[in-house]
Structure 1
Amino acid sequence: MIKEGKIVPSEVTIKLLQKAMHESENDKFLIDGFPRNEENRAAFEAVTKIEPAFVLFFDCPEEEMERRILSRNEGRVDDNIETIRKRFKVFQESSLPVVEYYDSKGKVRKIDAAKPVEEVFEAVKSIITPKEEKNEMQIIVLP
């Protein structure tokens, strides 16, 4: 499914997340790339009874993301132009509405991810570090 640029079924992802959360001794979690669609979001909140404290959204133009993915040299099968463009399309259609949903609730913290790595890291630290919200989940949605 990943090779095809498709989304893994919610029940599989939620079970894996719940298992990892239950096995952890932490009371805060940073979940990268989930939920990826409205069904993921609704299922996760219904099953876990958890709503994120905030959503960290890395905003970056597609051209820059494409350039970075193609130059990352990880040798991933899905790092090819066709699959990358499929993933961008899936993001626009499925994931962006989730970001918009949380944005309507005032929960999106947007980072300009086109900036240099050091600046992006500092921006992330400034959002995550000083938060007063304790014992709440934090989610990052990435394309």
Structure 2
Amino acid sequence: MNLILFGPPGAGKGTQAEKLVNHFDLPHLSTGNIFRANIKNETPLGKKVKSILDSGELVPDETVVELVADELDNEKYDEGVIFDGFPRTVGQAEALDQYLEENDKKVDAFVTLDVPEEELINRILSRDEGRTDDTPEKVKTRLEVYRNETEPVLNYYKKQGLVEEINGVGDVDEIFERIKKAVS
């Protein structure tokens, strides 16, 4: 199963992805984790990504798609994958669909976590990731970028009839049960 876990920053994608990975025994592909590893290891890509993220912008599609396609070539993804934080633009979604089609695969489910903006801001500011963009102003910028550049991905997959909208507010386990019910 190829599942996309979608939602704005702070919606709980990473938390739910971990639970889905364990439940479905599928690998987790998080562009955020790939970026953070590159930033931590100060690779050329990491330095480039850090400066982009520090400004509150999104990493260019070509860079992200290249990174993800390279990762997906690993045989551990042969039985499926849980995407977290990808695709973030319609261009990335189209590139993903093309990659999967070329490999006789497809997106099986698209789960979006719905969380009110005030709750998102509170969650982001209360978590301790040490991100330089976790300030009220930068969080609002990230949410605005999400609405303008990322939310259209939702409509892209709605047209394909793949979207499952999940209430992302509540206990972590309650939200997980909603997701499991939606994708089973």
TM-score, normalized by length of structure 1?
A: 0.80
Which range moves more in the overlay, 103-112 or 44-53? 44-53
Deviation by residue 1:38-93 (Cα, 9 ceiling, x = unmatched): 22222333344354112110110010000011011222111111111111111111
Task: Measure the CA separation in 1 of the matches of 2:157 and 2:179.
Answer: 18
Determine whether 1:13 maps to 2:64: yes
Task: Measure the CA separation in 2 of the matches of 1:114 and 1:23.
Answer: 34
1:39-58 residue pairs with structure 2 within 5 A?
39-49=91-101, 51-58=106-113
| 2:83 equivalent among 27, 31, 39 | 31
Task: Measure the CA separation in 2 of the matches of 1:47 and 1:24.
Answer: 15
Task: Measure the CA separation in 2 of the matches of 1:83 and 1:126.
Answer: 35
Determine whether 1:78 maps to 2:133: yes
How many residue pairs align between the two structures?
129
Q: What's the RMSD between the two structures over aligned residues? A: 1.7
* Structure 1 residue ranges without an equivalent (≥5): 131-143
Poorly superposed stretches of 4+, deviation over 3 Å = none
Greater RCO (CA < 8 Å, at least 6 residues apart): 1
Task: Measure the CA separation in 2 of the matches of 1:83 and 1:56.
Answer: 26
CA contact (8 A) 2:86 2:92 kept: yes
Q: Which residue of 1 aligns with 2:159?
A: 104
Matched-pair identity in %: 32
State the shift of 1:106 in Å.
Answer: 1.4
1:82-93 residue pairs with structure 2 within 5 A?
82-93=137-148
TM-score, normalized by length of structure 2?
A: 0.64
Structure with the higher fraction of residues in helix conformation: 2
Task: Measure the CA separation in 1 of the matches of 2:100 and 2:173.
Answer: 34
1:110-125 residue pairs with structure 2 within 5 A?
110-125=165-180
CA contact (8 A) 2:61 2:89 kept: no
CA contact (8 A) 1:5 1:86 kept: yes
